[in-house]
Amino acid sequence: MSNVMRQVRISGTGMYVPPRVVKNSDLEELMETTDEWIRQRTGIEERHHADPGTGPADLAYESSVRAIEAAGLEPGDLDAILVASLSPHHDFPGVSSFLQDRLGIAGCPTLDLRAQCTGFLYALQVGQLYVASGLYDRVLVCGAEVHSTALDFSTRGRDVAVIFGDGSGAVILEPSEDAERGILSVHLHGQGEHAKRLWVEAPGSSFHPRITHEMLDEGRQYPKMDGRFVFKHAVTRMPEVLHEALDHNKCSIEDLDLCLFHQANLRINEYVAGQLGLPPEKVYSNIQRYGNCSAGAIPMLLDECVRGGRVAEGDLVAMAGFGSGFTWGAALIRW
Ligand code: UT7
């Protein structure tokens, strides 16, 4: 490690969703909901669900190989693997261990981070510091979720079940030769007092035993959300932390070329964009097609923008997210 911090850039991106598309009309068959309600309240039209036998490490593998290839690297070139996920492949070890195995490599450290929908931004900051410090040169940062295996598809769980989807996104971090280009800063926050406003209670190691048949019968293994409360905090915290990132870098909203918000609800993001005075052409959304993929959402957005030619060299790109914990954060990148 050196005493001089290095500038860090994203050298490759990738994303993957499982092939099975679940339309709002498919959910109408399972619970009391309507395509109209889902579109109006969330903007979501469809999402992808993994088939049996496919877990988050498998989605992570697909997005990671695309990112590794885009960076012109081989899996064996990686110095560290970071995975953000709230949906573990198994209870332990973490998704990153299974991902390493699927990548066919051994030796480099593997680390899981749990910061739910802000997970990718948390992992991005850790990866940035790994590379900036000189400790590692090539770090894989991946967000991956299989939500569909843990949702209550009865009417009881409809508020949560309709918004989540399965998917993964990944980036490769490397030192930047250009001191002006790369990750300018990442800003993270948390407020644990609201942990139970959006959570999955069981199984939990605080229970003895962690899970019982009674708990399963009561549906305590399904996510519960105080939707209105979460909505209210999301539309406050995202603009706040985005301004923090802009102020830190002496930039303004007008300087932004592209803004990537966590994809939890299109209405949240429309409201936030309005609050910030961001014109629609500077905000890219894909929640209509994928639902909320939690830690996978922001790197999935980024990959679609990179491959779709929506990001040009020199562009100022902002990312902001909010999620369970509560956790929230923002990143500013000079592309
Ligand atoms: O990614 C992590 C962060 N998560 C978020 O940011 C999500 C934030 N919250 C939201 O996006 C919204 O609160 C939801 C989309 C989850 C819900 O929308 P809402 O406008 O806040 O609805 P609500 O929960 O206040 O419910 C309104 C009504 C209720 O019926 P009553 O009590 O008025 O008769 C619900 O039972 O809508 C009903 N409802 C549904 N109806 C049809 C709830 N879910 C559904 C559904 N289909 N899927």
Q: Is the CB of 296 under 6 A from ligand 1?
A: no
Full set of structural domains in the chain with CATH: 8-175 (3.40.47.10), 182-334 (3.40.47.10)
Q: In this predicted model, what pLDDT tens digit does every residue of 253-288 receive, in sequence order?
A: 999 999 999 999 999 999 999 999 999 999 999 999
CA of 120 to the centre of ligand 1 (A): 25
Residue 1 has pLDDT above 90, yes or no: no
Report the distance separating Cα 238 and Cα 202, nearest Å: 29
Residue 81 has pLDDT above 90, yes or no: yes
Phi-psi label, residue 81: left if phi above 0, alpha if psi -120 to 50, beta otherwise: beta
Q: Is the CB of 268 under 6 A from ligand 1?
A: yes
Q: In this predicted model, what pLDDT tens digit does every residue of 21-39 receive, in sequence order?
A: 999 999 999 999 999 999 9
Question: Catalytic: 292?
Answer: yes
Residue 53 has pLDDT above 90, yes or no: yes
Mean pLDDT computed over every residue of the chain: 97
CB hemisphere CA count around 101 (13 angstroms): 9
Q: Which atom of ligand 1 is nearest to the CA of 33?
A: 47
DSSP 252: -
CB atoms within 10 A of CB 208: 6
Q: Which residue's CA lies nearest to atom 3 of ligand 1?
A: 323
Question: Catalytic: 3?
Answer: no
Model's pTM, two decimal places?
0.97
Burial of 9 (0-12, 13-18, 19+ CB in 10 A): buried
Q: Which residue's CA lies nearest to atom 14 of ligand 1?
A: 227
